[in-house]
Copies of this chain bind each other. A is one copy, B any other.
């Protein structure tokens, strides 16, 4: 039995941000399992079988991949960005924990990748240059009250915030509600950036303030960054400012 499972991140966009380790795993795969949208981003090796599924089927997709691995196949599960950050890796371990004991002896590895906030930050300057939090704004799998509490405490701690999944086709209110919570704890002058489809043809960047931020700019392609009280703008002629968070920090 020589099967293996690699849970990989494709990075936020094209092959220039994909690690060689992930590219090699894809090239060796017999089965590639993932959300349709991510499968369209890769060039599978000849003979590999693609198993595309819809968003929301994560546990079933993970079980299917583990079954194929148990059967002796070389299997890759793909996520966008990094599989360990709001991606398929947690779903694979949930499936593995709940599955037959033999699954615990399979050759399973997670391969790290560039997650969306790092690509967005790089395009904007260095907003994650100091302590930060990453929050998933989707309340599909957790109570909205938990999200509000985390936003409030993170704002009080003066972390930079990276907000993943601020909106989807089914959800549009989360970004607006999140800004309402943050406005209770942070100055209206706090820097806010919307980064959409970073690294892809439809990339859009927008820099504003918490006081002026319009939540309707966020859709399912968007990552929102909210600066700390130290995050600064560097104006530049004829283009967007840089934003960055200095390495040092005042007392909070």
Q: Does A248 contact B (CB under 8 A)?
A: yes
Other than the given A84-B128, A90-B246, A153-B157, 17 more pairs (CB < 8 A) read: A16-B19, A84-B122, A84-B126, A85-B128, A89-B126, A91-B247, A93-B244, A96-B242, A109-B122, A112-B118, A115-B118, A128-B134, A131-B136, A131-B150, A145-B251, A146-B249, A154-B159
Contacts of A47 in B (CB 8 A): none
For the complex, what is the distance from the CA of A234 to the CA of B153, rounded to whole Å? 30
Contact B133 A246 (CB under 8 A): no
Q: Does A54 contact B (CB under 8 A)?
A: no
- Of B112, B141, B143, the residue contacting A122 (CB under 8 A) is B112
Q: Does A18 contact B (CB under 8 A)?
A: yes
Q: Does A111 contact B (CB under 8 A)?
A: yes
For the complex, what is the distance from the CA of A15 to the CA of B153, rounded to whole Å? 38
Copies of this protein in the complex: 2
- List 16 A-B residue pairs with CB atoms under 8 Å apart, sorted by A's residue number: A17-B21, A86-B129, A90-B130, A92-B126, A97-B234, A105-B237, A110-B121, A110-B122, A110-B126, A112-B122, A114-B114, A131-B133, A131-B134, A131-B135, A149-B252, A153-B153
Q: Which residue on chain B has the smallest CB distance to residue A93?
A: B244
Q: Does A202 contact B (CB under 8 A)?
A: no
Within the complex, what minimum Cβ distance (angstroms) separates A174 from chain B? 14
Contacts of A232 in B (CB 8 A): 97
Q: Does A173 contact B (CB under 8 A)?
A: no
Q: Contact flags (1/0) for A212-234 with B, using CB distance below 8 Å?
A: 00000000000000000000101
Q: Does A3 contact B (CB under 8 A)?
A: no
Contacts of A142 in B (CB 8 A): 248-250
Contact B249 A141 (CB under 8 A): yes
Tell me whether A94 and B246 are in contact in the complex, defined as CB-CB below 8 angstroms, given that A104-B235, A122-B84, A150-B159 are known contacts. yes
Contacts of A245 in B (CB 8 A): 90
Q: Does A11 contact B (CB under 8 A)?
A: yes
Contacts of A131 in B (CB 8 A): 133-136, 150
